[in-house]
Structure 1
Amino acid sequence: MTCEVTLRVMQVHQTPTLLLTRPRPASERFARGLTGVEIVIAPLMEIVGTGARVELNGVDGLILTSEAAVGFLPPSTLPAYCVGPRTATAARAAGLQAEVAGLTADELVENLTARPPHDRLLHVHGTQTRGDVAARLANAGLSVAEVAAYDQRRLPPSEVFSEALTRPHLIVPLFSPRSASIFAEAAPSLRADTRLVALSDAVADALPPEMRRQTRVASMPTGKDMRIALELLGVELVSP
């Protein structure tokens, strides 16, 4: 009598890992409401003040291209022209009359040039900037000064970061060209199943070609669209 034995191989589902490399407060905020992944926070930069004084005497309005600038402003109720809804939300919470003037620095420059406020503006930004916002607006005839109020200081890769790179089904969201270039230097090689998610084409373009091939770009450069892009990779979105 012959017994036929059928072996059935069960495929074990591997929980993805979401690696967040932004400064810790921003990473912790972004992680809220995400499930279906193991979240690892391993910052590759931190926000520190430069010591430069933000003087608002004689200023009629502010230009804010990052929410990081909000924490370095003195109390004010000035109008603020912001890049992105997250920056505008943070500015309103600080008491400013904030509006979204564009989703990117280029859009902000285009919109303020097309409808210039008759104000003396101050662009508060970090030491690492893109887009030459103040110079381009000044060339268009606007009255714009600028101050570098903070620095995005690099942090060395931690053991937590290095260990996360070895995990299968790793997902890494990248929010700025600077964070993308820092990540690429900190991660000389990636597993073939690692997936990067870039906030915009400019962020993706800061990656080397081999990493670019493993990258998905969010449909719009907003935190909401970044979360939607992550959903497509298996991250469950519980709250907006």
Structure 2
Amino acid sequence: MPEPTPRNHPNIPDNPAGRPVILLTRPRVASERFAGQLEARIGGSARIVVAPLAEIVPTHAPVPDPDAFDFVVFTSENGAAMLGGAPRRLPCYCVGARTAEAAQGLGYEPAHVARDVSALIRHLLAHPPTGQGLYARGVQVSHPLAEALAEEGIRITETMLYRQAPQNWSGALVAEITGADVIAPLFSPHIARRFRASLEVSGLRAAAVALSPSVAAALGPDFRGEIHTCAAPDAESMCTAVEGLLDAWGKLEQAGSPS
């Protein structure tokens, strides 16, 4: 199992007393990317540790030919990456700007970009595309998009091209952060459920910052810790929420303060 990756602000000791830990539990590539965004906002106020609870792996299912469809739906950039390039400028419907950028880079033409899956479903029901659609998705999804569309007569084929393979925290990681003030940004219901289970096994305590109400709900009503929800379901709002929590805890360094 890969060891957790610490990302430390220069000039700050590895784990000084009193410095909170930001525990990033998404798949490693996404966690590393968000770590860079967050580090630019909070500087050395906290120690950022990448400790994935899942990794993206292909299902090895047959990959459909996008050219056989009239439009494509992507709810994550992983779906776009696994489906691959479009032979023509096929219209696509996406969740999130990053997903749309990934799809556009592969030759698709974003027709609509929604902030979350629920908003995308509402848009597609209000403005139903014509023809046969393809939904390139993972095994674990938070909303039954295809079923919701099919009930209203929108023709769409699902293909499960990737899954989130479970990862576990090492004993070394648990020992390393036990006793620290831990903040965990959570980006999906699946990871939120994995996070809660991992806390129960490890005995760790943490405050959760959920990307959306559905992510917060996945932690359960009896979650033993603070739960904060982002104002909007995007990375910038997540950074703002984490920054605000550090400030509320009195742990946020002011710009230009001595390290």
TM-score range, shorter chain: 0.7 to 0.9
Q: Does 1:41 align with 2:50?
A: yes
Q: Does 1:58 align with 2:68?
A: yes
Q: Is the 8 A contact 2:212 2:230 kept in 1?
A: yes
Which structure shows the bigger proportion of residues in helix conformation?
2
- Which residue does the alignment assign to 2:95? 83
Q: Distance in 2 between matches of 1:71 and 1:200?
A: 24
Q: Does 1:183 align with 2:187?
A: no
Q: Distance in 1 between matches of 2:50 and 2:111?
A: 31
**Which ranges of structure 1 fall in alignment gaps of 5 or more residues?**
1-11
Q: Is the 8 A contact 1:64 1:81 kept in 2?
A: yes
SS of 1:39's equivalent? strand
Q: Does 1:195 align with 2:204?
A: no
Q: How does 1:142-221 map to 2 (within 5 A)?
A: 142-188=154-200, 189-191=203-205, 194-211=206-223, 213-221=225-233
- Which residue does the alignment assign to 1:15? 19
The structural deviation recorded for 1:54 is 2.3
Q: Distance in 1 between matches of 2:254 and 2:85?
A: 35
- Which residue does the alignment assign to 2:238? 226
The structural deviation recorded for 1:82 is 0.6
Deviations 1:128-164 (A, max 9, x none): 1232111111111111111000011101222354235
- Which residue does the alignment assign to 1:30? 34
The structural deviation recorded for 1:100 is 4.3
Q: Distance in 1 between matches of 2:160 and 2:253?
A: 37
Deviations 1:26-76 (A, max 9, x none): 100001131222111111101000011221232111101112112201211
The structural deviation recorded for 1:78 is 1.8
Equivalent residue for 1:109, pick from 121, 130, 133: 121
Flag the 1:160–1:198 CA change in 2: closer, same or farther, 3 A.
farther
Flag the 1:158–1:70 CA change in 2: closer, same or farther, 3 A.
farther
Fraction of identical pairs, as percent: 37
RMSD of the alignment, in Å?
2.2
Flag the 1:105–1:236 CA change in 2: closer, same or farther, 3 A.
farther
Q: Distance in 1 between matches of 2:198 and 2:222?
A: 15
**Which ranges of structure 2 fall in alignment gaps of 5 or more residues?**
1-15, 247-251
Q: How does 1:114-125 map to 2 (within 5 A)?
A: 114-125=126-137
Q: Is the 8 A contact 1:42 1:158 kept in 2?
A: no
Q: How many residues align?
A: 225
Q: Is the 8 A contact 2:95 2:113 kept in 1?
A: yes
Q: Which has the larger radius of gyration?
A: 1
Deviations 1:159-198 (A, max 9, x none): 354235414221110111100000111111443xx32100
Structure 1 runs (4+) deviating above 3 angstroms are 235-238
- Which residue does the alignment assign to 1:7? none
Deviations 1:7-26 (A, max 9, x none): xxxxx972221111111101
For residue 74 of structure 2, what is the amino acid of its counterpart? L
Equivalent residue for 2:79, pick from 69, 75, 95: 69
Q: Is the 8 A contact 1:101 1:107 kept in 2?
A: no
Which stretch has the larger CA shift, 30-39 or 203-212? 203-212
SS of 2:93's equivalent? strand
Q: Distance in 1 between matches of 2:192 and 2:176?
A: 17
- Which residue does the alignment assign to 1:6? none
SS of 1:197's equivalent? strand
